[in-house]
């Protein structure tokens, strides 16, 4: 009986140690209380089995004892080896942290769609959007709406250069309010991030004007924007600005009907190194995290979300449209974003998935 007591006490000590370690891990992982209860029940069952079955097994006659001990070892071992992630899947994480996991998953899917890695079916994107809708709360409403807007653009195959960049900056700002200690750091300080965002936005507006047959007023705006790019001239932007100037001047001098200034995000119009220069400045969306969004930026975000809601209401039928709903905002000129560095090493990658670069 001393051997049975020692064996049961050893299993109990191991169970308590593993339970404490897993408990800390679950707390750090923001698991719901029911996940902790499931894990507690598992270890309580292991301890109970140890004190009931180990003495019974050791009291068996010699020939039967080996088989009984082997079966008991397999049973207790199987209970010990149940992955904790199974309990998390059954019980879930606390609401805000379940949303963080959903955000990381969306970023991973977006990387695959934009960079052509793997196959992402429309149903997977729609499931991700449904998951976000289910997690939406008054506190997380804007972040959820922006994430769903990103998924909608991926499904439609259209992403606005300026709209995507603006949305990425705002999503990072909202995410830091929710998960300040868990977010990866931005690449630059706020001043540098704002500099890159304003340069990005100016260049993006020029592409929007150059995407269609511009009116005389639009051509005047294009000229002014082109001249304003000189405000951003630095040693690290000089090559890019020179390429933009050459390309824009050539397009202005000889605009071909139906031929946009920048036809696609391979930026061949900027020369052989155009895409490399763009990646150097905006290689990751984290390069603009922390940038200042002015009132016009915030208004554009609100109008975009309102327009999407109005479009969905109109598509659902007149009876589904709320009274006084605004009409859908017009789509901005958009094309597929260029490939950028992915931060998909575990959770870090998905947080720095390029939205607009």
Q: What was the pLDDT predicted at 265?
A: 80
* 57: confidence class by pLDDT, cuts 50, 70, 90: confident
Q: What was the pLDDT predicted at 36?
A: 73
Whether 62 and 148 share a structural domain:
no
Q: What was the pLDDT predicted at 340?
A: 38
Strand partners for 31 = 93
Q: Among 91, 119, 147, where does a domain finish?
A: 91
Q: What was the pLDDT predicted at 270?
A: 92
Q: Among 91, 120, 150, where does a domain finish?
A: 91
Whether 140 and 37 share a structural domain:
no
Establish if 130 belongs to a structural domain: no
Establish if 103 belongs to a structural domain: no
In angstroms, the CA 137 to CA 178 distance is 12
Compute the average pLDDT of residues 121-136.
Answer: 89
Whether 86 and 161 share a structural domain:
no
Q: Using one digit for the tens of pLDDT, what is the confidence trace for 28-48?
A: 555 666 677 777 888 888 888
* 118: confidence class by pLDDT, cuts 50, 70, 90: low
Q: Among 91, 116, 150, where does a domain finish?
A: 91
Whether 189 and 278 share a structural domain:
yes
> CA angle, corner 20, sides to 15 and 21, nearest 5?
100
Whether 79 and 167 share a structural domain:
no
Query: Which residues, in sequence order, are CB contacts of 216 under 8 Å at separation 6+?
Result: none
Compute the average pLDDT of residues 231-238.
Answer: 94
Compute the average pLDDT of residues 45-74.
Answer: 75
Please answer whether residues 226 and 245 qualify as being in contact, where contact means their C-beta atoms are separated by less than 8 angstroms. Answer: yes
Q: Is residue 182 scored above 60 in pLDDT?
A: yes
Please answer whether residues 107 and 145 qualify as being in contact, where contact means their C-beta atoms are separated by less than 8 angstroms. Answer: no
In angstroms, the CA 14 to CA 72 distance is 16
Better pLDDT: 234 or 99: 234
Establish if 283 belongs to a structural domain: yes
In angstroms, the CA 303 to CA 149 distance is 12
DSSP 230: G
Rg of the chain taking only CA atoms, in angstroms: 28
Phi, psi of 326 (to 5 degrees): -70, 155
* 293: confidence class by pLDDT, cuts 50, 70, 90: very high
Whether 151 and 245 share a structural domain:
yes
Compute the average pLDDT of residues 137-162.
Answer: 89
* 297: confidence class by pLDDT, cuts 50, 70, 90: very high
Q: What was the pLDDT predicted at 181?
A: 72
Establish if 101 belongs to a structural domain: no
* 85: confidence class by pLDDT, cuts 50, 70, 90: low
Q: Which domain holds residue 58?
A: 2-91
Establish if 204 belongs to a structural domain: yes
Please state the domain count of the chain: 2
Please answer whether residues 23 and 39 qualify as being in contact, where contact means their C-beta atoms are separated by less than 8 angstroms. Answer: yes
Whether 288 and 195 share a structural domain:
yes
Q: What was the pLDDT predicted at 322?
A: 46
Q: What was the pLDDT predicted at 92?
A: 59
Better pLDDT: 337 or 158: 158
DSSP for 143-168? HHHHHHHHHHHHHHT--BHHHHHHHH
Task: Indicate whether this model's pTM tops 0.75.
Answer: no
DSSP 260: -
Compute the average pLDDT of residues 212-241.
Answer: 91
Whether 6 and 81 share a structural domain:
yes
Compute the average pLDDT of residues 70-92.
Answer: 72
For tokens 């002014």, the residue is 224
Q: Is residue 16 scored above 50 in pLDDT?
A: yes
Q: What was the pLDDT predicted at 102?
A: 86
């Amino acid at each position: 009986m001393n051997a049975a007591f020692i064996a049961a006490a050893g299993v109990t000590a191991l169970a308590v140690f593993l339970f404490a370690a897993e408990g800390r891990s679950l707390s750090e992982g923001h698991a719901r209380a029911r996940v902790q209860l499931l894990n507690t029940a598992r270890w309580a069952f292991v301890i109970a089995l140890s004190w009931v079955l180990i003495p019974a097994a050791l009291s068996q006659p010699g020939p039967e004892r080996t088989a009984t001990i082997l079966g008991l070892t397999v049973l207790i071992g199987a209970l010990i080896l149940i992955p904790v992630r199974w309990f998390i899947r059954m019980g879930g994480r606390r609401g805000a942290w379940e949303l963080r996991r959903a955000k990381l998953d969306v970023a991973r899917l977006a990387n695959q769609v934009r960079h052509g890695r793997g196959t992402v079916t429309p149903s997977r994107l729609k499931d991700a959007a449904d998951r976000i809708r289910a997690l939406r709360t008054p506190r997380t409403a804007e972040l959820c709406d922006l994430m769903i807007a990103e998924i909608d653009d991926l499904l439609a195959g259209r992403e606005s250069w300026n709209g995507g960049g603006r949305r990425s900056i705002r999503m990072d700002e909202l995410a830091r309010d929710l998960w300040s200690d868990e977010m990866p750091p931005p690449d630059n300080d706020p001043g540098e991030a704002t500099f890159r965002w304003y340069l990005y936005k100016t260049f993006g507006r020029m592409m929007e004007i150059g995407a269609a047959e511009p009116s005389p007023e639009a051509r005047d705006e294009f000229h002014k924007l082109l001249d304003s790019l000189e405000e951003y001239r630095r040693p690290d932007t000089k090559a890019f600005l020179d390429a933009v100037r050459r390309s824009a001047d050539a397009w202005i001098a000889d605009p071909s009907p139906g031929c946009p200034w920048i036809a696609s995000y391979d930026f061949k119009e900027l020369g052989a190194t155009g895409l490399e220069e763009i990646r150097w400045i905006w290689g990751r969306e984290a390069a603009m995290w922390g940038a200042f969004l002015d009132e016009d930026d915030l208004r554009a975000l609100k109008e975009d979300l309102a327009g999407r809601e109005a479009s969905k209401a109109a598509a659902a039928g007149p009876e589904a449209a709320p009274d006084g709903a605004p009409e859908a905002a017009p789509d901005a000129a958009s094309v597929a974003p260029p490939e950028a560095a992915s931060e998909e090493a575990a959770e870090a990658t998905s947080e720095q998935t390029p939205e607009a670069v």
